Structure 1
Amino acid sequence: MIFGWRRRKNSHRPEGKHEMEIVIPNNFRCPISLDLMKDPVTLSTGITYDRESIERWFEAGNCTCPVTNQIVRNFDQIPNHSIRTMIQDWCVENQQYGVERIPTPRVPIAPIEVSEALMYVKASAKSLDQYGCLELVQKIERWGAESERNRRCIVENGAADVLAYAFDVFANVSIERNSSVLEEILTALNWMFPFQLEAQKSLGSRASLSCLVWFLKHQDLSGKQKSIAALKELFSCGDQQHVEALADIEGVNDLLLEFIKKRISPTIAKTSLSVVQYLISSSSPSSEKMKLAFIEKGLISSLLDILIESERSLCERALGVFDTLCSCEEGREMAYSNDLTIPVLVKKILRVSELATNLSVSVIWKLCKYARKDGETVLVEALQVGAFQKLLLILQVGRGDETKEKTTELLKLMNPYRAGLECIDSADFKNLKRSF
């Protein structure tokens, strides 16, 4: 087997000339990946590996040296500077054949360095030294930018807890005066998901949530994206108190609705829908209040606009919010009042994804089952846009038990009105994967 670079000549090379093969010397190749080593390190067993490869080996739960099969009792990885220098010299010698010089790797940070930096971050926050804290956070970010290994080391040593604490402290004093350090901390926190309990408590405080909402109002697109991502991550941890605390902040529903309506960024729109879903999903009084507020402000119409033409993940999130809003009478009444509701929902069945199909069926089922008036109108409209045939196909291709039950009930409700009303759009079934 030959390992090496192949240099292709340009199109004007003389006939008879072949590709040039540069063979990598065996002692320059990592015994695990068989690739040219970029950061050679030597274990206590005396064998040299590329740092990234051997770290992945140990992270997978192995405790032996891959070459010698000896138990490794000391996991220290000593940089092999002589091999690295030889590899770099070899690269320079073969640059004419397309070989690029391996850059000198940075020394990975040690846990003690991270702990020391975080200790000073906490001290700076306690003394309200925003400039000292800013420098330390920027230093941590530079470490993280150097390698994935550094990021893991930073996160594993509790950086998110300390930075979230600092965020809460500076937000409590003055958001506008401390906006620079708060923004820098938020930037760092965005690559430290998921949050542990201490970080959740700090970011879920009234001051921190108010700061995140302030960023949503006043920051640029990047700042808004970081803030909404932090909110989503915080709520995904499942603490309902944080959701209720955000719901109590004035104007947050208007902001989220604006992001959904205007769709200034696909990422912000999707994340905003996820945050809205957390805000309206519980049975708490504040959640019910938010649900009614979103309905009154026209969220259902905005969701239908998204569903008409959007990519898969945005469509699924919009349907999830739509389904939750239609769990209350006010949401269903607003859906009935929009002529697009039934045609758009039926169109999404079997067209987007299994999740989108399940959610579309759920919304149609709620609209048909709980209609106090004009229930017959809804059923007839669904039949006219081809719902019956699609529902039959759902039973044939197989879905979850809950969706099957709703589908069966819908078919029973529609059956008496079928005669002469069905309309089938064959385009909906072109790419259907049958289970039989």
Structure 2
Amino acid sequence: MEFQEALMRLIIHKPLRKGVIVETQKESEKQKWKVLSFRRLSKQEIPIEFLCPISGSLMNDPVIVSSGHSFERACVQVSYTLAFTPTLIDGSTPDFSSVIPNLALKSAILNWCNKNSVEPPKALDFFSAEKLVLAKMDAQQEEKGLIQRIKQSPSMMFNQAATKLTLPPAHFSSSSEESVDTNVWNPPLQLTTPHSCYSSASSSSDKETLDLNPNPEEEELITKLKSPQVYEIEEAIISLRKITRTKEETRVELCTPRLLSVLRSLINSKYTNIQVNSVACLVNLSLEKANKVKMVRSGIVPMLIDVLKEGFPEAKEHACGAMFSLALEDHNKTAIGVLGALPPLLQLVRSESEWTRHDSALALYHLSLVQSNKTRLVKLGAVPILLGLIKSGQMRSRVLLILGNLASCLDGRAAMLDSGGVDRLLGMLRESGLEAQSTRESCVSVLYALSLGGLRFKGLAKAAGAVEVFSQLEKSGREQTREKARRMLEMMKAKEEEEEEEEVNWEELLVSG
């Protein structure tokens, strides 16, 4: 500024010398008045379309937002971060959901500056833009409050309204010990409680006290995750995934409603890296027991279901893992089933990805521990699908766990008996190369649950040669497995004896009659 003032005095009071400011003597006078006019240039002489509606200055990096308005990029980033929507001069409100560089406007501004010998605008940094946006928020909030007071007091004179409009913000006090310092910016207050920080002491609460001291790490992550730049979001989400994977102590601290809200908007992103890493972050957060109910109540499950249905393959893997982790909590089981997670999980049991199949099967197992989800799975046709997986030899151990839960309810037993479950399970027990003892035990447990079906099970089991299979199981394996085989064998033999006795009695009756 000192250099500019000195140059102006030089131009006004001293004659120009050749080669100092102008290139030729013929253009010296013209150039002198041209420089002089640029120095005295006011905002009224600058085309209004070159000025940012928020900063009021020439734009260095203009961008077009979704609504068609042009702003300085830094002002858009800060406004989006603070969830602030300014009201423009014409009364319209912009939409900051997406931005596109306005190269034509930038070129026009630079050409205009060169033509008028105006210094090109400098780049606006984030913190300077933040101060401008916060000031705009204060002014807009005060204006809204003034309009509201005018509506409530129709008799207010115009000069009284002007007086209130010029009052310093210090009259918005919260308590005797918590006066507002008008010379100090307080961004955290604006970030956490926008448009409500002017409340009186009667509206203060513990929640506001917590908001005044946010986690710096969380604030930084949220700011980057809300950035309109895709690469910044990718960097932030990858960083969050790494933090939640390696730092177990931060999982509970970072699992806040604000962060979950941001992740909820990212897991359906059209960008592969953003969707995959955001869902992976949810898996990491769900590992802590204290976070499981909180995450379900935040509304994250419907978004995960969308990923299960239409997400990228790797994102589906992580979404199945997240569902499995959240289903471990008993309070979540019914809610997850009601929200509609069972159909896509049942479909992904047959996925080409091994991890997707295993995690979806484990999620179904834990969800099927609840009676309401058992009924839903049976109605969805889960039994034929699961029995088909047993026949193909895929994930037998996990599938048998689900079938065991379904066999414990009346509808599940009926569906398994209708679908040939008894014959399929007995055929599996006859295999000499059954992969694990635990798989054999699970198969016996499912059959034992089906045996509660009464006469129909006994008839199907007898036709499938169950007596021979149960006799072999009674002689080998664990005590619990042998006991179940013995009980099923006794039940079938008892039935055969009863039938023989009944046949003899009927013969006698017929002969005597």
TM-score by length of 2: 0.48
Q: CA deviation at 1:186?
A: 2.1
Provide the rounded CA distance (Å) in 1 between the counterparts of 2:268 and 2:279: 15
The letter for the 2-side match of 1:344 is L
Q: CA deviation at 1:136?
A: 2.3
Secondary structure of 1:263's counterpart equals coil
1:415 aligns with 2:415: no
Provide the rounded CA distance (Å) in 2 between the counterparts of 1:348 and 1:205: 43
Provide the rounded CA distance (Å) in 2 between the counterparts of 1:164 and 1:317: 34
The C-alpha deviation readout for 1:366-404, integer Å capped at 9, x for no partner, is 222332x4343133134358413332233xx4x153x34
1:392 aligns with 2:511: no
Write out aligned runs for 1:318-337 (5 A): 318-337=399-418
The letter for the 1-side match of 2:403 is F
1:244 aligns with 2:334: yes
Q: CA deviation at 1:198?
A: 4.3
1:305 aligns with 2:388: yes
Q: CA deviation at 1:174?
A: 7.7
The C-alpha deviation readout for 1:266-316, integer Å capped at 9, x for no partner, is 32122111111121203xxxxx332122112221111111111325xx111
Provide the rounded CA distance (Å) in 2 between the counterparts of 1:410 and 1:215: 44
The letter for the 2-side match of 1:271 is D
Say whether the 8 Å CA contact 2:279–2:318 is kept in structure 1: yes
- Contiguous gaps of at least 5 residues in structure 1: 1-114, 145-149, 283-287, 420-436
Q: CA deviation at 1:322?
A: 0.6
Provide the rounded CA distance (Å) in 2 between the counterparts of 1:280 and 1:390: 31
1:87 match: none
Q: CA deviation at 1:158?
A: 0.6
Structure 1 pair 207/296, CA: closer, same or farther in 2 (3 Å)? same
Say whether the 8 Å CA contact 1:320–1:359 is kept in structure 2: yes
Say whether the 8 Å CA contact 2:286–2:325 is kept in structure 1: yes
1:267 match: 355
1:295 to 364, 378, 381: 378
Say whether the 8 Å CA contact 1:368–1:375 is kept in structure 2: yes
1:381 match: 463
The C-alpha deviation readout for 1:155-213, integer Å capped at 9, x for no partner, is 234146526755521256686469775542223454x4772244324422252111111
Q: CA deviation at 1:337?
A: 1.3
Q: How many residues align?
A: 278
Say whether the 8 Å CA contact 1:160–1:195 is kept in structure 2: no
1:185 to 274, 278, 293: 278
2:311 match: 219
The letter for the 1-side match of 2:304 is L
Provide the rounded CA distance (Å) in 2 between the counterparts of 1:201 and 1:293: 22
Structure 1 pair 319/167, CA: closer, same or farther in 2 (3 Å)? farther
Provide the rounded CA distance (Å) in 2 between the counterparts of 1:294 and 1:182: 28
Structure 1 pair 341/204, CA: closer, same or farther in 2 (3 Å)? same
1:280 match: 368
1:135 aligns with 2:225: no
Q: CA RMSD in A?
A: 3.3
Provide the rounded CA distance (Å) in 2 between the counterparts of 1:162 and 1:257: 32
The C-alpha deviation readout for 1:254-275, integer Å capped at 9, x for no partner, is 2122122x43323212211111
Q: CA deviation at 1:123?
A: 5.4
Q: Relative to total residues, which structure has the larger helix share, 1 or 2? A: 2
Provide the rounded CA distance (Å) in 2 between the counterparts of 1:409 and 1:130: 67
1:353 match: 436
Provide the rounded CA distance (Å) in 2 between the counterparts of 1:265 and 1:415: 45
Identity of aligned residues (%): 15
TM-score by length of 1: 0.55
Provide the rounded CA distance (Å) in 1 between the counterparts of 2:248 and 2:387: 43
Q: CA deviation at 1:407?
A: 1.9
Larger Rg: 2
1:155 match: 247
Q: CA deviation at 1:233?
A: 1.6
Structure 1 pair 193/415, CA: closer, same or farther in 2 (3 Å)? farther
2:398 to 310, 317, 324: 317
2:483 match: 405
Provide the rounded CA distance (Å) in 1 between the counterparts of 2:244 and 2:260: 22
Provide the rounded CA distance (Å) in 2 between the counterparts of 1:385 and 1:400: 19
The letter for the 2-side match of 1:367 is L
Provide the rounded CA distance (Å) in 2 between the counterparts of 1:175 and 1:278: 24
1:232 to 324, 329, 332: 324
1:120 aligns with 2:220: yes
The C-alpha deviation readout for 1:332-378, integer Å capped at 9, x for no partner, is 1111112353243452367232221222111212222332x434313
Say whether the 8 Å CA contact 2:292–2:326 is kept in structure 1: yes
2:10 match: none
Provide the rounded CA distance (Å) in 1 between the counterparts of 2:285 and 2:468: 44
Structure 1 pair 156/369, CA: closer, same or farther in 2 (3 Å)? closer
The letter for the 1-side match of 2:356 is I
Secondary structure of 2:287's counterpart equals coil
Provide the rounded CA distance (Å) in 2 between the counterparts of 1:194 and 1:253: 19
The C-alpha deviation readout for 1:79-114, integer Å capped at 9, x for no partner, is xxxxxxxxxxxxxxxxxxxxxxxxxxxxxxxxxxxx
Say whether the 8 Å CA contact 1:167–1:185 is kept in structure 2: no
Structure 1 pair 163/189, CA: closer, same or farther in 2 (3 Å)? same
The letter for the 1-side match of 2:332 is H
Structure 1 pair 305/181, CA: closer, same or farther in 2 (3 Å)? same
